[in-house]
Amino acid sequence: MKKLLSLTALVLTLTLLSGCIPLPTPPETTQPETGETESPTQAPTTEPTEAPTEPDPLVLQLESMTLEEKVGQLFMVTPGTLGLPQIKAPMDAITQEQVTQMEAAIREIFETYPVGGIVQFAADLYSPEQITAYNALLQKAAKIPLFLGIDEEGGTVARLANHSGFDLPQYQSAGAVGASGNPKDALEMGQTIGAYLQEYGFNMDFAPVADVNTNPNNPVIGNRSFSSDCNMASQMAKAMAQGLEEKSIVPVFKHFPGHGDTAQDSHDEVAYSGKTLGQLQGCEFIPFSGLTENQCVMVGHIALPEVTGNMTPATLSPEIVTGLLRENLGFEGLIFTDSMVMEAITDNYSGAEASLLALTAGCQVILQPEDFPSAFTGVVEAVEAGTFPEEQLDTVVLQILRFKEAVIGYHP
């Protein structure tokens, strides 16, 4: 304000003086002899400056994360794997002090192993009140929201509906639902399952089964599949996924590249399909085509010797994960491995080896690796040694963070 007053006074003084002192007569200007007139000097033009862009909060989050925190986002394990304390009693028998102590213990474990997700099985369940409180506790203790998943396909694989502590709607099987030929039935199944998963604090379902039940000798899929007809299986699986999504549950389509035509159980050995690429594209791949970036796919331990020329499980095969799922089908969502404690993997690879091979193949989330501490450390050491580039790690982690932002409401 003082500067403004001084400037005003100066202008006023100069104005008064100009009225008392005669101004000098300006000299006459002469035109150039050529008769040309000089053009007035143009004021320099300045390029408009772009408004500064707001920093991407997810990129800032990534940059703030330690190597261990980034690697942790790649893994999804059971509570028992981490030794997390669990609630295995009626909630009215648990004191607030015990809950506080439990949260502190979980938080401390997450400091060492900051995993990206927790998957739960029947042994982790006790009652609706218990699992709701426990899932809330897990999320509260985690720095970054967790994927909280479960296998709830409807039928024989339904951890909650088949548990004696829960009174929930039950389905005979996906095959029985698919037999109606009406995708609305699968939609309603997805809505029903999604509603109680949402109520209990889950945000992910390892369903629908998108396999086509084309091999009558298949020992593991059978009526877990909606149909032996690829188009009907596709319609039903996608309808169930829609129902889950309407209840804010992330669907995970399984088991790419198709477990329905195998004669082996990947829990016990590497399963394989003898089909050519053209045959797979005409059947098994159809339920996995046209999926959205907000959906997930689980890759099975299934070899395609007629396509790749080897018996490498799909989970560890760049030709299958990146070449077929990403590039051929154009899938842009997250890619999960099937459980890595299955003998198809553990008979031939250590937990660390399998995890690194799966990541190199293009998988983004490793489900239940054998000897998780060793697998976790193995990936950390591979990044430190440069055998798994940190730039590649950052790309995967940023994809996971963006997915969590878009689908489960993560906002750093």
**Is the pLDDT score of 48 beyond 70?**
no
For residue 49, what pLDDT band results from cuts at 50, 70 and 90? low
What residues make up the domain containing 180?
57-408
Region 312-325 average pLDDT: 99
Q: Is 16 inside any structural domain? A: no
Tell which residue, 326, 324, 323, 361, has the closest CA to residue 340. 361
pLDDT number for residue 33: 47
Using N-to-C axis directions, what is the helix angle for 183-199 and 230-246, rounded to 10°? Answer: 30
**Is the pLDDT score of 225 beyond 50?**
yes
Region 257-275 average pLDDT: 93
Task: Please tell me the pTM assigned to this model.
Answer: 0.87
To 10 degrees, the CA torsion angle through 138, 140, 142, 147? 60
Token reading at 397 = 């982690």
pLDDT number for residue 53: 81
Q: Is 44 inside any structural domain? A: no
* Beta-bridge mates of residue 296: 252, 334
Region 24-44 average pLDDT: 48
What percentage of the chain has pLDDT greater than the value 70?
88
Region 211-239 average pLDDT: 96
Under a CB-based contact definition with an 8 Å cutoff, are residues 137 and 91 in contact?
no
- pLDDT, mean over the chain: 91
- Stretch (H or E) spanning 398: helix 390-408
Per the listing, tokens 């439990």 go with 102
Q: Is 338 inside any structural domain? A: yes
pLDDT number for residue 216: 86
Domain CATH for 283:
3.20.20.300
Q: Is 40 inside any structural domain? A: no
**Is the pLDDT score of 129 beyond 80?**
yes
Q: Is 253 inside any structural domain? A: yes
Q: Is 96 inside any structural domain? A: yes
pLDDT number for residue 47: 65
Q: What is the largest CA-CA distance in the chain?
A: 114
Q: Is 324 inside any structural domain? A: yes
**Is the pLDDT score of 139 beyond 80?**
yes
Distance, CA of 384 to CA of 172 (rounded, Å): 50
**Is the pLDDT score of 246 beyond 50?**
yes
**Is the pLDDT score of 41 beyond 60?**
no
pLDDT number for residue 15: 36
Residue 185 identity:
D
Total domains in the fold of the chain: 1
Tell which residue, 375, 246, 250, 396, has the closest CA to residue 321. 396
Q: Is 48 inside any structural domain? A: no
